[in-house]
Structure 1
Amino acid sequence: MSDASPAPARAADEILDLVDEHDEVVGQAPRGEVYARGLRHRCVFVLARDSSGRVFVHRRTATKLVFPSLYDMFVGGVVGAGESYDDAALREAQEELGVLGLPRPVPLFKFLYVSPGGEQSWWSYVYEVQCDLPVNPQAEEVAWHAFVPEEELTARLEEWEWVPDGRAAYERLRTHRAM
């Protein structure tokens, strides 16, 4: 998931909606405060596939504020104040993949993610999008990337260290598809 923009000072000032356990807006706060205080907010997770069905996987740079150097099978990030999940999914996918003209991501399901220690939580909407365009991820955010077959991704789940919220979203996605 993305946690930084090209201008980090601006990112900390970005205003986010604060939400309750029912995903109802209860206030607003700057992103830096939201992260520092562990306030509940909204995020999007977009699974990008190419025309062969392979999944976009990447390793975050060591300079990322949150989950540096970990792997992720989603692109995405926080939902801005007043922004819809759908709009955030398209914006984040285009920004993180470095492309324009993506089709609108397809919403799959929403869940409340709670961090392993229970100190943080955020509402997370999972999407999927087909990306047949050449990708050009931002070098300051992505250290490595590739489109990998789902079987390889599944095999790597136990070999690589994954961002915890992305891993949780992916496990829920696998359960969702099995239903």
Structure 2
Amino acid sequence: MSNPLDELLDVVDHQDRVVGTASRGEVYRRRLTHRCVMVLVRDAAGRIFVHRRSAGKSFAPGAYDVFVGGVVGSGESYREAAVREAEEELGVTGVRPEPLFRFLFETADHSWFCDVHQAEWTGPVTPQVEEIDWHDWLTEDEVADRLTRWEFVPDGRAAYQRYLELRASSSAPESS
């Protein structure tokens, strides 16, 4: 198996325009802005797929997440990456992510654009054991409770907050 830190990624500017390529390891070492995808997956009952990242992950090992996803490879579109990542992490084929929004996630150590999607999956899942140590389908109330008690990945936490705000604003009645 190849080293994930050798994977080539597109480096982008703050307008999300490609300005070069670099290995994932170099991108992380030099805090270069790159791209990632996140897919919020619900089952037929509306529950959210929540998982704990494996201890071997380079970013946020052992943390929980409400999104499946990962980095966008060099030359890959956000849509292609969303399908690939969702299918790989869930161990399924046929996922159809719907794009929701994109934002720039930045900390002192990291900088990437998060392209956030949602999808429904009604069949069984076989999560990728190299990526996921634990998983379950949780209601929104259960997710809200866990967010106060468990360590979640920081970009996933930020994306989920934006997702909730977007949903609340789109359901607000229009004023006349």
TM-score, normalising length: structure 2? 0.92
Equivalent residue, structure 1, for 2:33: 40
Aligned length: 169
Q: What is the RMSD computed on CA atoms of the aligned residues?
A: 1.0
Structure exhibiting the larger radius of gyration computed from Cα positions: 2
What's the counterpart of residue 136 of structure 1? 126
Runs of 5+ consecutive residues of structure 1 not aligned to the other structure: 1-6
Cα distance, 1:25–1:66 mapped onto 2, change above 3 Å: same
The structure 1 segments of at least 4 consecutive aligned residues displaced by more than 4 Å after TM superposition are none
Task: Work out the CA distance in 1 between the residues paired with 2:140 and 2:77.
Answer: 29
| Displacement of 1:140 | 2.1
2:73 aligns with 80
Q: What amino acid is the match of 2:94? A: G
Match of 1:114?
Answer: 106
Equivalent-residue separation in structure 1 for 2:109 and 2:143 (angstroms): 29
Letter in 1 for 2:110: Q
* Mean CA deviation greater in 138-147 or 122-131: 138-147
Distance of 1:84 and 1:154 partners within structure 2? 31
Structure 2 partner of 1:148: 138
Q: Partners of 1:106 and 1:64 in 2: how far apart?
A: 26
Deviation at 1:63, TM superposition (A): 2.1
CA distance in 2, matches of 1:110, 1:135: 26
Where do 1:10-89 residues align within 5 Å? 11-89=4-82
- The aligned counterpart of 1:169 is 159
Q: CA deviation at 1:8?
A: 4.7
Alignment partner, residue 172 of structure 2: none
Where do 5+ consecutive residues of structure 2 fail to align? 170-176
- TM superposition score normalised by structure 1: 0.91
| Residue number in structure 2 paired with 1:4 | none
CA distance, structure 2, for counterparts of residue 141 and residue 77 of structure 1: 10
Which is worse superposed, 48-57 or 31-40?
31-40
Q: 1:8 to 1:59 in 2, by over 3 A?
A: farther
- Cα shift at 1:55: 0.1
* Amino acid in the other structure paired with 1:87: E
How far apart in 1 are the matches of 2:39 and 2:115? 8
How many angstroms apart in 1 are the aligned matches of 2:94 and 2:102?
25
In the alignment, what sits opposite 1:3? none
Does residue 158 of the first structure (1) align with residue 148 of the second (2)?
Answer: yes
State how far apart, in whole Å, the 2-side matches of 1:150 and 1:82 are: 35
